[in-house]
Structure 1
Amino acid sequence: MVLAVGSGSRSEEALVVDPILKATLVRLRAVKSQRPADANPGEFVDWGEKIADCLDAVAIVPPFAADQKDADVRAD
């Protein structure tokens, strides 16, 4: 989730990334950096599954505060 922090003026707003989203993106970068260099299909498939798991985790985090509020309302 990205939150705008500031006095309301677009030029003065700072973007703050939700800690959950940040953690999932850090994990995605870490897994991406472990891509197998050789052509071993088995290792590549395992790595691809790890990437897919990371992308699934990123996909469930709403990027905007309004989306999070909508999700919270629907969950109730």
Structure 2
Amino acid sequence: VMTVLYLLSLAPAALAVMMTPFAFDQGSTPEAWALVTKILVYPLVVIVTIAGAWIFYKLSLFWVAIAWSLLPIVNILLIFT
């Protein structure tokens, strides 16, 4: 279930990535760079999370797989802070 949801979340993430250059309309600030970095890292986090969660599941490390699958949610929360 999480695999499908995370894959579906990549479509809005692509739109967000396309809008990141506009973060620098007011100039290059540390806050703008932090936001852009968080947004650009999200697709990578999703791909690594999906692969890692399935690997941990295959190794019967179910709690680790569940914890690992929460990484994109942490990333989304960091974007809004």
> Considering only CA atoms, is the larger Rg found in Structure 1 or Structure 2?
1
More strand by share: 1
More helix by share: 2
What range is the shorter-chain TM-score in?
Answer: 0.3 to 0.5
| TM-score, with structure 1 as normaliser | 0.46
| TM-score, with structure 2 as normaliser | 0.44
